[in-house]
């Protein structure tokens, strides 16, 4: 759903941001001059600077030296580049760790670390809480007036937790302010289990491997304690961000302030961070052969964090990455870059500009390699970056600020993810992230735009909301979902939703307790299944058109699945007991694979207000999911365009109504996709209307209009004709 145009920070106008992390402090001025020449030639317009320079900028508690940074900023500014200026607080200086060992983290095994690596600060330590914001404020006082400063970049990829005594103290304070009393904490955590009743707040410890985290299983003896410790750690890191942001704001009231996020990333609840971030930026490092829809879902999720506002792809490797090793295939980096823009990015940035000679990332891909002597421009990587830069420079500004249009909301919740991963007695094969990806991928395959949203988001305008495995459900979110359905939204809810309350306790009553009235069914029991179990699902009248539907309305999917396999459930079978007004859309089959629930209802549909709720009593495989989605979409009028595997289409709409339709091929094989509406293809300047002789567009299969042939990793962007609106 498009949520209208919002006012965005003034810095976000003009061309798309193109560039990335640069570390000129590792090189001399002549090298930087050469880098700037090469980067300008590649259409780079923005550099992220000063990410890991704390120890260079400050040699003791009172002595700062900005001369090196001044020189870099002058040179970069003179070259006409915009700057994303980092605060450098992501890596504590060695002198500081030596002077204040308490600034180093204690790990989950209870070991106090010495200085090392990065993201290494205990965020509860008073010295960090003093010096990090002070550095951010000092930088802001010095550089806020720079005309080419477009972003403040606080720390870098916050991650992890600390188990030191200071953090234990902060955790106890956090608990008290959340619950109000020790009794309430005992109650929330069911502390009488295994004799944990606490009589003094000081008896509560963070759940480390030497306290309540059970070795091997990763499960905390009191799941509520584990959940709250994750919440606390997320809030603590967000507070560190807030403190630096406040210090910056004292000197610079306008420039957007952010920190770069990651995905998949479980440590912190980014939904609770989003209001503090002026713009969402994230770092994308897919493995070479990951399905492109995984990255697409991460983009949709990042865009959803701020209600659909454009975000920035702040890092990706132009070629190879340290952790995943494999090099991107020829054309893949360009396709991934346009994929980000297609999903709502207003900037495409890299890690990194020049490959470090030393250090633990000395072989990480970079725009400028070590080839030297005028050879860099002749390298494949630099050429690919230059070609993409030219494309972005040519058409990026038109697209910038436009908003992605999506009809379906897919719900994603960090607390539900934490809760599922933090319990015992679950099926270890069922995976929260996999389930969300699974539904997302099938929507992509049908050419349907998806907003990935928190269950706390406003859902009312969506015709379809899908909530896979919303294991922990907060009361107010269940109410919000019910409200949307009452107003006409259709909901798909799967097994393992609404099981726990906010504190991580099993809800008492007929499951799914908070959705009971909405779904018109209750689960008597859940049966965990093994990978070998092949739980059959039977959809009555499978393959038949809905009564009264014209043949042309019948989606071929109804007659067969993506894989052609019979539909099955995975990992869990719920014994469903439907109410009288609840329709059964599918049943479990019979026989040995369905011994727990032979012939029982598997998928149900219940009218609720102006909407309806589908409930799925298992976690469907591809074939089952396709059929369920078919029924969920039935009659909603959402445009569908069936796409071959690895292809995508998305739509961005500008404030003036201009529609940019992206057609992407994320694979190394050619793909043919349906042309949704005619217009002008912006990369080639050619017409895209399916007329014979118009180049690569060819007439497609009977009755489906025209199509577009996409070469491996091909991209087309069609600005649709106004007449086609």
Nearer to ligand GLA by C-beta: 281 or 667? 281
Answer yes or no: 669 catalytic: no
CB nearer to ligand GLA: give 328 or 364. 364
**Near Zn ion by CB under 5 A: residue from 91, 144, 162, 673:** 162
**Residue 167 or 688 with smaller CB distance to Zn ion:** 167
Contacts of 368 (CB under 8 A, 6+ apart): 35, 38, 39, 353, 354, 355, 376, 382
Q: Residue 539 binds what, of Zn ion, ligand GLA, none (CB under 5 to 8 Å, by partner type)? A: none
Instruction: Give me the residues paired with residue 706 across strands.
Output: 699
Under the binding rule (CB under 5 A), the answer on residue 122 touching Zn ion is yes
What is the smallest separation between the CB atom of 283 and ligand GLA, expressed in angstroms? 4
Nearer to ligand GLA, 321 or 494 (CB): 321
Return the range that interacts with Zn ion (CB under 5 A); candidates 123-131, 224-232, 277-285, 519-527. 123-131
Cβ 630 vs Cβ 585: under 8 Å: no
Peptide bond into 512 cis (omega under 30): yes
**Residue ranges in 372-473 assigned as alpha helix (H):** 380-399, 414-421, 432-445
Residue 683 half-sphere exposure, CB side, CA atoms within 13 Å?
A: 18
- For position 124 contacting Zn ion by CB under 5 A, the verdict is yes
Note whether 433 binds Zn ion by CB under 5 A: no
Contacting residues toward ligand GLA, per CB under 6 A: 156-157, 283, 285, 315, 321-322, 351, 361, 364
Inter-CA distances, 236 with 52, 134, 213, 672, Å: 21, 18, 20, 49
Cβ 715 to Zn ion shortest distance, Å: 46
Residue 107 burial (10 A CB sphere; 0-12, 13-18, 19+): middle
Task: Give least dist CB 348 to ligand GLA, A.
Answer: 15
Residue nearest to ligand GLA as judged by C-beta position: 283
Residue that is written with structure tokens 């070991």 in the block: 111
Rounded to a whole number of angstroms, the minimum distance from the CB of residue 44 to Zn ion is 39
For the chain, the first-to-last Cα distance in angstroms comes to 17
Q: Which of 157, 415, 503, 720 is catalytic?
A: 157
Structure tokens at 8: 């965005």
The smaller minimum CB distance to Zn ion, of residues 162 and 384, is found at 162
Q: Which is nearer to ligand GLA, 117 or 701 (CB)?
A: 117
Q: Which does 557 bind (CB under 5 to 8 A by kind): Zn ion, ligand GLA, none?
A: none
Using CB under 5 A as the binding criterion, the count of chain residues that bind Zn ion stands at: 6
From Zn ion, ligand GLA, none, which one binds at residue 351 (CB under 5 to 8 Å depending on kind)?
A: ligand GLA
Closest CA to 303 of 652, 607, 581, 676: 652
Give whichever of 14 and 360 is closer to ligand GLA, judged by the CB atom.
360
Q: Which is nearer to Zn ion, 182 or 240 (CB)?
A: 240
Cα angle 505-506-512, degrees, rounded to a multiple of 5: 135
Instruction: Report the partner that residue 162 touches, choosing among ligand GLA, Zn ion, none (CB closer than 5 to 8 A by kind).
Output: Zn ion
Nearest of 440, 424, 176, 198 to residue 304 by alpha carbon: 440
Residue 121 near Zn ion by CB under 5 A: no
Q: At what angle do helices 223-249 and 414-421 cross, to 10 degrees?
A: 150
For Zn ion, the binding residues in 331-350 under the rule CB under 5 A are none
Please, what is the minimum distance in Å from the beta carbon of residue 157 to ligand GLA?
Answer: 5
DSSP letter for each residue of 625-688: HHHHHHHHHTTS--------TTEEEEEEE-TT--EEEEEEE-SSS-EEEE--S-EEETTT--EE
Mark residues 166-185: x for contact with Zn ion by CB under 5 A, - for none: xx------------------
Structural tokens at position 538? 């039977």
When CB distances are held under 5 to 8 angstroms depending on the partner's kind, the choice from Zn ion, ligand GLA, none that residue 124 binds is Zn ion
Q: Angle 332-342/380-399 helices, nearest 10 degrees?
A: 20
- Nearest residue (CB) to ligand GLA, 315 versus 630: 315
Q: Which residue has the tokens 């994929």?
A: 339
Eight-state DSSP code of residue 106: B
Shortest separation between residue 156's beta carbon and ligand GLA, angstroms: 5
219 binds Zn ion (CB under 5 A): no
Q: Which does 84 bind (CB under 5 to 8 A by kind): ligand GLA, Zn ion, none?
A: none
**Taking the complex as a whole, how short is the minimal distance between the CB of residue 285 and ligand GLA, in angstroms?**
6
CA–centroid distance for 374 within its chain: 39
Instruction: Please state, in angstroms and rounded to a whole number, the distance separating the CA atoms of residues 349 and 593.
Output: 50
- Three-class HEC string of 129-197: HHHHHHHHHHHHHHHCCCCCEEEEECCCCCCCCCCCHHHHHHHHHHHHHHHCCHHHHHHHCCCCHHHCC
416 binds Zn ion (CB under 5 A): no
| The two structure tokens encoding residue 63 | 């002595």
Residue 285 binds which entry of Zn ion, ligand GLA, none, CB below 5-8 Å type-dependent? ligand GLA
Site for Zn ion in 657-686 (CB under 5 A): none
For the window 70-109, what string marks contact with Zn ion as x by the rule CB under 5 A?
----------------------------------------
- Rank residues 139 and 164 by Cβ distance to Zn ion and give the closer one: 164
Reported as type and span, the H/E element at residue 261 is: strand 260-262
H helices within 578-621, ranges in order?
A: none
Contact flag: residue 236 with Zn ion (CB under 5 A): no
Interaction of residue 240 with Zn ion, rule CB under 5 A: no
> Residue 407: which of Zn ion, ligand GLA, none does it interact with, CB under 5 to 8 A by kind?
none
* Contact flag: residue 237 with Zn ion (CB under 5 A): no
Active site residue 315: yes
- Scanning 156-164, 320-328, 403-411, 633-641 for contacts with Zn ion by CB under 5 A, the matching segment is 156-164
Q: Taking CB within 5 to 8 Å according to partner kind, which of Zn ion, ligand GLA, none is near residue 209?
A: none
- Which one of 147, 244, 315, 630 is the catalytic residue? 315
Task: Report the Cα 385 to chain-centroid distance in Å.
Answer: 25
Distance between CA atoms of residues 153 and 86, nearest Å:
4
Half-sphere exposure of 583 (CA within 13 A, CB side): 11
Which residue, 312 or 416, is less far from ligand GLA as judged by CB? 312
What is the DSSP annotation of 378-398? GSHHHHHHHHHHHHHHHHHHH
Binding partner of residue 167 among Zn ion, ligand GLA, none, CB under 5 to 8 Å per kind? Zn ion
Closest approach of ligand GLA to the CB of residue 318, in Å: 11
Asked if 499 contacts 505 with a C-beta cutoff of 8 angstroms, the reply is: no
Shortest distance in whole angstroms from residue 172 CB to Zn ion = 13
Q: How far is the CB of 351 from ligand GLA (least distance, A)?
A: 4
Minimum CB separation of residue 84 from ligand GLA in Å reads 12
Secondary structure (DSSP) of 71-96: HHHHHHHHTT-EEEEE--TTS--HHH
Could you list the active site residues? 157, 315
Residues near Zn ion (CB under 5 A): 122, 124, 162, 164, 166-167
């Amino acid at each position: 759903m498009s949520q209208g145009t919002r006012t965005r920070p003034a810095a976000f106008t003009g061309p798309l941001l193109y560039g990335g992390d640069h570390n000129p402090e590792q090189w001399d001025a002549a090298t930087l001059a050469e880098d700037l020449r090469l980067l300008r030639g590649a259409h780079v317009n923005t550099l992220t600077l000063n990410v890991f320079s704390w120890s260079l900028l400050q040699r003791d508690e009172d002595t700062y030296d900005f001369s090196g940074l001044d020189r870099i900023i002058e040179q970069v500014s003179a070259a006409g580049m915009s700057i994303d200026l980092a605060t450098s607080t992501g890596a504590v200086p060695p002198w500081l760790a030596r002077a204040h060992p308490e600034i180093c983290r204690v790990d989950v095994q209870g070991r106090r670390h010495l200085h090392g690596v990065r993201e290494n600060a205990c965020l509860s330590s008073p010295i960090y809480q003093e010096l990090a914001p002070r550095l951010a404020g000092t930088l802001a006082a010095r550089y806020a007036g720079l005309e080419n400063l477009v972003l403040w970049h606080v720390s870098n990829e916050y991650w992890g937790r600390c188990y030191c005594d200071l953090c234990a103290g902060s955790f106890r304070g956090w608990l008290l302010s959340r619950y109000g009393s020790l009794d309430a904490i005992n109650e929330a955590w069911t502390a009488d289990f295994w004799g944990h009743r606490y009589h003094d707040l000081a008896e509560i410890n963070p759940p480390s491997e030497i306290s309540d985290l059970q070795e091997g299983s990763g499960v905390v003896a009191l799941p509520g304690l584990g959940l709250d410790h994750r919440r606390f750690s997320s809030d603590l890191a967000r507070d560190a961000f807030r403190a630096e942001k406040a210090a910056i704001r004292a000197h610079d009231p306008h420039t957007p302030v952010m920190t770069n996020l990651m995905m998949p990333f479980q440590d912190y609840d980014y939904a609770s961070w989003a209001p503090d971030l002026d713009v969402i930026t994230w770092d994308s490092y897919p493995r070479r052969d990951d399905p492109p829809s995984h990255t697409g879902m991460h983009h949709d999720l990042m865009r959803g964090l701020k209600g659909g506002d454009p975000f920035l792809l702040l890092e990706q490797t132009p070629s190879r990455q340290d952790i995943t090793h494999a090099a991107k295939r020829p054309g893949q980096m360009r396709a991934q870059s346009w994929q980000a823009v297609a999903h709502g990015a207003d900037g495409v940035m890299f890690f990194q500009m020049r490959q470090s000679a030393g250090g633990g990332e000395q072989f990480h891909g970079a725009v400028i390699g070590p080839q030297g002597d005028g050879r860099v421009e002749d390298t494949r990587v630099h050429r690919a970056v230059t070609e993409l830069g030219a494309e972005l420079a040519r058409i990026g500004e038109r697209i910038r600020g436009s908003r992605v249009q999506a009809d379906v909301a897919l719900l994603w919740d960090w607390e539900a993810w934490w809760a599922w991963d933090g319990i015992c007695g679950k099926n270890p094969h069922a995976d929260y992230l996999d389930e969300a990806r699974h539904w997302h991928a099938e929507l992509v395959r049908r050419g349907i735009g998806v907003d990935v949203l928190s269950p706390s988001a406003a859902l009312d305008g969506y015709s379809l909301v899908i909530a896979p495995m919303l294991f922990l459900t907060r009361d107010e979110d269940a109410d919000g979902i019910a409200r949307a359905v009452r107003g006409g939204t259709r909901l798909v809810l799967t097994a393992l939703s609404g099981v726990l309350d906010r504190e991580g306790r099993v809800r008492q009553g007929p499951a799914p307790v908070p959705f009971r009235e909405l779904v018109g069914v209750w689960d008597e029991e859940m049966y965990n299944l093994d990978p070998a179990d092949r739980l059959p699902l039977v959809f009555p009248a499978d393959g038949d058109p809905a009564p009264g539907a014209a043949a042309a309305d019948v989606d071929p999917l109804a007659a067969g699945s993506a894989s052609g396999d019979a539909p099955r459930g995975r990992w869990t079978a719920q014994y469903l007991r439907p109410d009288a007004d609840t329709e059964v859309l599918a049943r479990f089959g019979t026989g040995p694979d369905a011994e727990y629930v032979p012939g029982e209802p598997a998928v149900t549909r219940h009218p609720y207000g102006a909407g309806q709720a589908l409930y799925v009593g298992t976690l469907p495989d591809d074939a089952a999911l396709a059929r369920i989605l078919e029924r969920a979409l039935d009659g909603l009028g959402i445009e569908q365009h069936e796409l071959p595997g690895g292809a995508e289409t998305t739509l961005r709409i500008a404030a003036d109504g201009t529609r940019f339709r992206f057609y992407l091929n994320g694979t190394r094989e050619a793909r043919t996709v349906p042309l949704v509406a005619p217009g002008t293809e912006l990369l080639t300047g050619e017409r895209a209307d399916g007329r014979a002789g118009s180049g690569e567009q060819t007439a497609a299969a009977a009755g489906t209009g025209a199509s577009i042939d996409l070469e491996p990793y091909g991209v087309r962007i069609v600005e649709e004709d106004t007449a086609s609106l």
